[in-house]
C-alpha cells in the first residue's frame, strides 16, 4: 500500500512542512522567522505568533509542490517535543484538527529522533545499530540507535549545547543570531592555531561547553583592554581557533563511544552537523579508523519537516499512532 505522510515541524523558530511518499521526500517547505535576529535569540511569544501566521501557507505549499491533495494523505505527523511549548502547540493543534477532519492517524514525533533519522532521507542510509552524534542548538548527545524505536543516550552535555556555545561565542563577536554558520564562514579564512582554548573534559561520554564560552569571553575582554581593535582585527583567527576546539571536544568523545560500543557506523545530526570543519574532520577520522560516516545534506541538518516525516515513516510502519488527546512535551525524552 502506498503511504503518503504530511509532517509538520514547529518546535522552535522554523515553521516547516513536508510530504513523504513511500519513504521519499517529495516536498520540503521551510519558513524561517527573521524577527528574532534583532533580539539576539528566539523570543517564544513571537515564535508562536509567526507559526500561526505561517502554518497554513506552508502546509498548502508542501501539498502543492508534491501534487498531493489532502484526501490522499494517509497520516499527519507533527513534532511533539522537545521545544518551546507555545511553538509546539501551534503544530500539535493544527495536526490534530487536520487529522481529525480527514479521519486519518496522527503521528507524534520526537524532534531529536527527527534529527537522527534525517540520515535516512537520502541513500545510503546507515543500518542498525549505528552511533549518532546529535549536535543542535538545544542538545548535544551521543546516541546508540539500535532500532527505530530503541535509542540509548550514551552521553550528553551537562550544561550548554554545542550549538548554544557557537551562538553565544558568535554574540560576543557581534554576529547576528544564530551565529554558528557565521563562525563557520569566518573560520575558513582564519588560522586555527592562532589562539588556544582549554577544552573541557567531562567524565565518560558527557560534554560541557559553558567553560569554553567563558574562556573565550575572558580572552576577548583581556585583549580588548590592550587593543580596542582586537576583535575586529582577529575575527577569522578567533573563529577558526574556537571552532577547532569545539570540534575536537565533540570528536574526542565520539572516538571513545566507538571504542566502548564497537559500533563503527557514525551518523551526524542536528544544526551543528552543517558545520564544515566538523564534517571535514569526521570524514578524515572515518578514513583513518575505517568508520562508515553518514552526513545528512546541510539542508536536512538544521530544523526541517523532511526529517520529521522520515522519523514518522518508521512509526507509521510500526503502527505507532497518537491519540487525539496527545499534548506537546517541551522536555521530551528520546524514548
Ligand atoms: O537543529 P537546529 O536547527 O535547531 C535546534 O533544534 O536547536 O540547530 C540550530 C543550531 C544553532 O545553534 C546554529 O548556530 C547551529 O545549529 N548551526 C551551526 C551551523 N549551522 C547551524 N553551527 C556551526 N556551524 C554551522 N555551519
Ligand atoms: Zn533541531
What pLDDT was estimated at residue 248? 97
What pLDDT was estimated at residue 44? 87
d(CA 333, CA 139): 11
DSSP SS3 for 176: coil
Confidence check: pLDDT of 40 > 90:
no
The model's pLDDT over 151-178, given as tens digits with 9 standing for 90+, comes to 999 999 999 999 999 999 999 999 999 9
**Cα angle 79-141-308, degrees, rounded to a multiple of 5:** 20
d(CA 69, CA 102): 11
The model's pLDDT over 79-122, given as tens digits with 9 standing for 90+, comes to 999 999 999 999 999 999 999 999 999 999 999 999 999 999 99
User: 119-127: long-range contacts at Cβ-Cβ below 8 A with a sequence spacing of 24 or more?
Assistant: 119/267, 119/268, 119/269, 119/294, 119/296, 120/23, 120/310, 121/25, 121/296, 121/297, 121/300, 121/306, 121/307, 121/310, 122/296, 122/297, 122/300, 124/294, 125/294, 126/265, 126/267, 126/292, 126/294, 127/265
What average pLDDT does range 48-74 have in this prediction? 96
Residue 35 — very low, low, confident or very high, per pLDDT cuts 50/70/90?
A: confident
- Does residue 140's CB lie within 6 angstroms of at least one atom of ligand 1? no
Dihedral over Cα of 297, 301, 306, 307: its sign: positive
Q: Which atom of ligand 1 is nearest to the CA of 115?
A: 1
What pLDDT was estimated at residue 140? 98
The model's pLDDT over 125-146, given as tens digits with 9 standing for 90+, comes to 999 999 999 999 999 999 999 9
- Does residue 81's CB lie within 6 angstroms of at least one atom of ligand 1? no
Confidence check: pLDDT of 123 > 90:
yes
What pLDDT was estimated at residue 39? 79
What average pLDDT does range 300-309 have in this prediction? 98
What pLDDT was estimated at residue 41? 79
Ligand closest to 179 (CA) is 1
d(CA 223, CA 120): 46
d(CA 133, CA 146): 14
What pLDDT was estimated at residue 290? 98
Q: List, in sequence order, every residue forming a beta bridge with 32; answer none if it has no partner.
A: 14
Ligand closest to 188 (CA) is 1
- Does residue 9's CB lie within 6 angstroms of at least one atom of ligand 1? no
CA of 242 to the centre of ligand 1 (A): 16
**Among candidates 231, 9, 251, 39, which has minimal Cα distance to 117?**
9
What pLDDT was estimated at residue 184? 98
- Does residue 110's CB lie within 6 angstroms of at least one atom of ligand 1? no
Peptide bond into 124 cis (omega under 30): yes
Give the relative orientation of helices 180-187 and 276-289 as an angle to the nearest 10 degrees.
70
Q: Which atom of ligand 1 is nearest to the CA of 161?
A: 12
Give the relative orientation of helices 210-226 and 230-261 as an angle to the nearest 10 degrees.
160
- Does residue 167's CB lie within 6 angstroms of at least one atom of ligand 1? yes
What pLDDT was estimated at residue 10? 97
d(CA 43, CA 65): 31
What average pLDDT does range 259-272 have in this prediction? 98
By most ligand atoms within 8 Å of CB, the mutation choice from 118, 184, 242, 302 for ligand 1 is 302
d(CA 123, CA 298): 15
Closest residue by CA, ligand 1 atom 7: 137
What pLDDT was estimated at residue 279? 98
With a CB cutoff of 8 Å and minimum separation 6, the contacts of 227 are 233
Task: List strand residue ranges (DSSP E) for 4-157, in order.
Answer: 4-9, 14-21, 24-32, 75-81, 106-110, 130-135, 140-147, 150-156
- Does residue 296's CB lie within 6 angstroms of at least one atom of ligand 1? no
Residue 335 — very low, low, confident or very high, per pLDDT cuts 50/70/90?
A: confident
What pLDDT was estimated at residue 269? 98
d(CA 15, CA 47): 9
Q: Which atom of ligand 1 is nearest to the CA of 179?
A: 14
Mean per-residue pLDDT of the chain: 96
**Among candidates 131, 138, 134, 136, which has minimal Cα distance to 159?**
138
CA of 142 to the centre of ligand 1 (A): 17
What pLDDT was estimated at residue 255? 98
- Does residue 12's CB lie within 6 angstroms of at least one atom of ligand 1? yes
Peptide bond into 315 cis (omega under 30): no
Record the cell numbers describing residue 210, joined without a space: 559553558
Please give the helix or strand (H or E) that residue 269 lies within, else none: strand 265-269
Percent of the chain with pLDDT over 90: 91
Closest residue by CA, ligand 1 atom 20: 181
Q: Contact 261/288 with Cβ under 8 angstroms?
A: no
CA of 127 to the centre of ligand 1 (A): 26
**207: which DSSP letter?**
B
d(CA 80, CA 174): 34
Residue 47 — very low, low, confident or very high, per pLDDT cuts 50/70/90?
A: confident
What pLDDT was estimated at residue 320? 98
What average pLDDT does range 251-261 have in this prediction? 98
Amino acid at each position: 500500500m502506498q503511504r503518503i505522510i504530511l509532517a509538520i515541524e514547529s518546535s522552535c523558530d522554523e515553521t516547516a512542512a513536508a510530504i513523504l511518499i513511500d519513504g521519499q521526500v517529495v516536498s520540503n517547505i521551510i519558513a524561517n522567522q527573521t524577527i528574532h535576529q534583532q533580539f539576539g535569540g528566539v523570543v517564544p511569544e513571537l515564535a508562536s505568533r509567526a507559526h500561526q501566521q505561517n502554518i497554513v501557507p506552508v502546509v498548502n505549499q508542501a501539498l502543492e509542490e508534491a501534487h498531493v491533495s489532502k484526501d490522499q494523505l494517509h497520516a499527519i505527523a507533527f513534532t511533539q517535543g522537545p521545544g518551546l511549548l507555545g511553538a509546539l502547540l501551534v503544530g500539535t493543534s493544527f495536526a490534530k484538527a487536520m487529522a481529525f477532519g480527514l479521519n486519518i492517524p496522527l503521528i507524534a514525533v520526537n524532534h531529536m529522533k527527527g534529527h537522527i533519522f534525517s540520515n535516512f532521507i537520502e541513500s545510503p542510509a546507515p543500518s542498525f545499530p549505528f552511533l549518532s552524534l546529535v549536535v543542535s542548538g538545544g542538545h548535544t548527545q551521543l546516541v546508540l540507535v539500535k532500532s527505530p524505536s530503541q535509542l540509548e543516550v550514551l552521553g550528553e552535555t551537562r550544561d550548554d549545547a554545542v550549538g548554544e556555545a557557537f551562538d553565544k561565542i558568535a554574540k560576543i563577536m557581534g554576529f547576528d543570531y544564530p551565529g554558528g554558520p557565521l563562525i563557520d564562514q569566518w573560520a575558513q579564512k582564519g588560522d586555527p592555531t592562532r589562539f588556544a582554548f582549554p577544552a573541557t573534559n567531562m567524565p565518560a561520554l558527557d560534554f560541557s561547553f559553558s567553560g569554553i564560552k567563558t574562556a573565550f569571553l575572558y580572552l576577548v575582554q583581556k585583549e580588548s583592554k590592550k587593543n580596542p581593535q582586537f576583535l575586529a582585527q582577529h575575527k577569522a583567527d578567533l573563529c577558526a581557533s574556537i571552532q577547532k576546539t569545539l570540534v575536537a571536544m565533540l570528536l574526542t568523545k565520539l572516538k571513545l563511544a566507538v571504542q566502548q560500543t564497537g559500533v563503527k557506523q557514525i551518523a551526524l545530526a542536528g544544526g551543528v552537523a552543517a558545520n564544515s570543519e566538523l564534517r571535514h574532520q569526521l570524514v578524515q577520522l572515518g578514513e583513518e579508523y575505517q568508520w562508515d560516516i553518514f552526513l545528512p545534506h546541510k539542508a536536512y541538518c538544521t530544523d526541517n519537516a523532511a526529517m520529521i516525516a522520515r522519523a514518522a515513516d518508521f512509526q507509521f510502519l510500526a503502527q505507532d499512532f497518537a491519540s487525539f488527546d496527545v499534548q506537546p512535551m517541551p522536555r521530551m525524552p528520546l524514548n
